[in-house]
Amino acid sequence: MFLAAILYIHICIRAWCIYIFGISEARIVFLPFGLVLKVTTQNIAHDGHTIQFVRKHTSIPVPRVFVAAEWCGLKYLLMKKVEGDNLEWAWQHLDAEQRSNIVLQLRSFVLQLRALRSPHGPAVCGLNGVTCIDSRISSQPVGPFPNESAFNDGLIIAAKLYLCNDILADIRSCMRNDHRIAFTHGDLAPHNIFVRGGTVMAVID
C-alpha cells in the first residue's frame, strides 16, 4: 500500500506537470525500490506485451514489466530497473575478450529474435498487429502494413521529400517484396544495451 501510494502521488504530479508543460517524447523516471517508470503520449501498452513475449520465448535479458497503463492521456510502463553499465560508456573500458563475449551474446540475441515466427503472416507490424517504429519513415509509429510490398511503398513515399520520382521509381523496382518477415529490435544500439564486464545484463527500448 505504501509503494502504491508513492506511485500514485508521483504519477499525479508528473501528469499535471506534463499537462501544463507538454511532452514530446518518452521520459524515464527512476523511482524508489528499484523501479523505473516510462511516461509517454504514445501507445506503449504493446511495448509491455512485446517485452513479456521476448522474455518468455528467448534468453534475451529484458526488463521485468509490472504493469502498462493509461491515465490522463498519458501512457505508463512500470518496470524493474536493469543492472549494469550502459555499453555506450562501458565499451572503452572493456578488454578484447570481454568485447568478444558481448558481440557473441548480441549475435545470439539477434538470431533468437529472427527465429521467432510472426502470428500475422506477411504483415509488417508490431507483435499484436499494431503499429511499429521505423526511423526511415518517421519518428512516430507507422503501419501496420499488410505485406512487404505496402511497407516498401511506405519507404518510397517517405523519400519523396528528398528524391525525384524517376529515381524513386528505379529504387522501387529494385526492392524485393518476398522476404520472410522476422521479429527484430528497432534500435539495437549501444545506448540500449547494459553490460557488466563481458556479460550483457539487459537490452532495453
- 45 domain-assigned: yes
Q: Does residue 165 come out as left (phi exceeding 0), alpha (psi in the -120 to 50 range) or beta?
A: alpha
- What pLDDT is attached to residue 24? 47
Rg for the chain, CA atoms, rounded: 20
Residue 49's pLDDT band, with cuts at 50, 70 and 90, is: confident
In a domain, 161, yes or no: no
Percent of the chain with pLDDT over 90: 58
Name the pairing type of β-strands 193-196 and 132-134: unpaired
Indicate the number of domains in the chain.
1
DSSP code string of 22-56: --SS-EEEEETTTEEEEEESS--HHHHHHHHHHHH
Q: Is residue 64 part of a domain?
A: yes
Per-residue pLDDT tens digits for 58-97: 999 999 999 888 777 778 889 999 999 999 999 999 999 9
Domain carrying residue 33:
2-81
Q: Is the pLDDT of residue 21 over 70?
A: no
Report the predicted TM-score, pTM, of the whole model to 2 decimal places.
0.80
pLDDT band at 134 (very low <50, low <70, confident <90, very high): confident
CATH number of the domain at 61, please: 3.30.200
pLDDT of residue 204: 93
Looking at the domain assignment, is residue 165 inside a domain?
no
Tens digit of each residue's pLDDT (9 = 90 or more) over 94-119: 999 999 999 999 999 999 999 998 88
- Interacting residues of 64 by C-beta distance below 8 A, sequence separation 6+: 55, 79, 80
Q: Is the model's pLDDT at 13 over the cut of 70?
A: no
Residue 85 and residue 190 in contact, taking contact as beta carbons nearer than 8 Å: no
Q: Is residue 200 part of a domain?
A: no
Compute CA distances 138 → 43, 91, 134, whole Å: 15, 30, 6
Tell me if 65 is assigned to some domain: yes
* pLDDT score for 26: 66
pLDDT bin (cut points 50, 70, 90) of residue 18 is low
Is 176 within the bounds of a domain? Answer: no
- How much is the pLDDT for 159? 93
Tell me, yes or no, whether 152 lies in a domain.
no
Residue type, 70: E
| Cis ω for the linkage preceding 146 (within 30 of 0) | no
